[in-house]
Each structure stands twice: as structure tokens, then as C-alpha cells.
Amino acid sequence: MKQTRIIMGMPITVEIVDEVAPSVFDDVFAYFTSVDERFSTYKPASEISQINAGLPRHEWSDDMRHVLELCARTKRDTYGFFDIQHHGKLDPSGLVKGWAIQGAVDLLRHKGARNFYVEAGGDIQVVGRNAAGERWAVGIRNPFNMHEIIKTVRLTDAGIATSGTYVRGEHIYRPRSEASFAAAQPAVRSLTVIAPTIYDADRYATAAFAMGWDGIAFIASLPGLEAYQIDASKTATFTGGFERYVHATTS
């Protein structure tokens, strides 16, 4: 069973191979809706918008406190390249999507699903196997031609996320001075990260893209993570273990 709905301003798709109650889909999409209602910076009534408008700290929800602590931890883990403070406001969007997908994965497992995938705006977590009993096949798009898949990786129990400016334009914030990125920023067009969880794939892809050419080396330094980068000259660079996902057998 497979369903797609537009939530958080993006298509969210859930496919479940196992036999589960149809209401499971409603539960998962209701969860994503609740995340959007709390964390959307585009909704004036959301909690994050209220915080940016002056909501006192003692009135923040437990989920908000947890996410903002994860953001602070990620900032430390990425040497300051992941930063949710922009023009005096908080915007945890660079972490919330992966965190939300991971929450949906936990919910589905709790409901008894063992083989499924969850995708939100191109970021994906796969669990178990597909309907054919094989690894899930995930395509990486060409940043110069969104209709072309240039690599297909085969995954099980892994998350994959891509950061770049080719879909939504410039949306990656850079905490260091703009001058230091003037030359490097145009060089990297997309950076795809594979990690054991979509939470790590998403947050590290965001930070690594902000690092410019240093980003792929940063990913290579993290145990269990791999990356595939495409630059402005249409040249691909990838980490040492990435190819094993390309050449992985389907069984």
C-alpha cells in the first residue's frame, strides 16, 4: 500500500509492504501535520513562530525543547556550519524534516510495519525490503536536469538526503562570512548523504553543503556515512564506501 499527501509544503509518501490496518496511513500523516503545525516558520500560529515573536521559554513544549537541543548539538558537531539562527529568528527546518521522518519510522514500527519507506521532499528512510523482497532502489537526480537519474543506490535500513540549490534555489544558510564562501559556494551543486538514519543523513547533508568543497571530506570523516557530490563542472566526487551501495546486489 502506498499513499502520498501534501504536508509541510511538500509531497510526503509512505509505502508499506506488510499487511497493516489502513488507518496506519492516517496516523502517520496526522503525525506529520502535527509537526508542521508546531515547527512551520510560515504559519503565524505555529509554536516556532510564537517563539520568534517572544513566547517565553517556560511555555515551550517538550518537543520544541528537544528539537532545539538537537539543533544546538548539531551545531557543535558541525563546527558551527549548522546554525538555526537567521536574522535574529530561529529556523530549525534544516533538522526538523529528518527528525520528523525518523519519528514516522518509529511510529510505523510501533504499528507493526517491518518493510516500508517514508519520503518527505526527496529525503527518504527505507526499512527492510521492497515488495519483491529486494533492497529499495533510490535514484539520485542530476542537478542540471531534474528529470534524469544519474545514480541508483540500493538500500535497506538506511536514510538518504540531498542538499542543493537546484530545486528551491538558494535556501542553505551559511553561518560564516559570505566573503569566505564567495568562490566555493557555486562549485557544489548537490550533495547526497547516506546514513543509518534519515535524521543523520538530513542534518549532515545540510551542514556539509554549507561547507562547500570541505563538505564531502567532513562526511567521509563520520563513521557509517557516505556521500556523493556533483559540482558546477558536472564532475562527481564520492566517498570511499559509496560505490558499495551502487553495486549492491538486490538480494
Q: What is the pTM of this model?
A: 0.91
Residue 38, number of CB atoms within 10 A of its CB: 19
Q: Would residue 215 count as lying in a domain? A: yes
Q: Taking Cα atoms as reference points, which of 71, 75, 20 lies closest to residue 48?
A: 71
Q: What is the pLDDT of residue 175?
A: 53
Structural domain that includes position 150? 2-246
Q: Would residue 235 count as lying in a domain? A: yes
Rounded to an integer, what distance in angstroms lies between the CA atom of residue 104 and that of residue 100?
6
What would the pLDDT profile of 151-166 be if each residue is shown by its tens digit? 999 999 999 999 986 5
In this structure, are strands 145-155 and 136-142 parallel, antiparallel, or unpaired? antiparallel
As for how many domains the chain has, the answer is 1
Asked if residue 18 lies in contact with residue 115, where contact means CB atoms within 8 angstroms, the answer is yes
Q: Would residue 123 count as lying in a domain? A: yes
Q: Would residue 89 count as lying in a domain? A: yes
Q: Would residue 234 count as lying in a domain? A: yes
Q: Supply the CATH number for residue 215's domain.
A: 3.10.520.10
Q: Would residue 251 count as lying in a domain? A: no
Spell out the per-residue pLDDT of the chain, length 251, in tens. 999 999 999 999 999 999 999 999 999 999 999 999 999 999 999 999 999 999 999 999 999 999 999 999 999 999 999 999 989 999 999 999 999 999 999 999 999 999 999 999 999 999 999 999 999 999 999 999 989 999 999 999 999 999 986 544 333 445 554 444 444 445 899 999 999 999 999 999 999 999 998 999 999 999 999 999 999 999 999 999 999 999 887 77
Q: Would residue 211 count as lying in a domain? A: yes
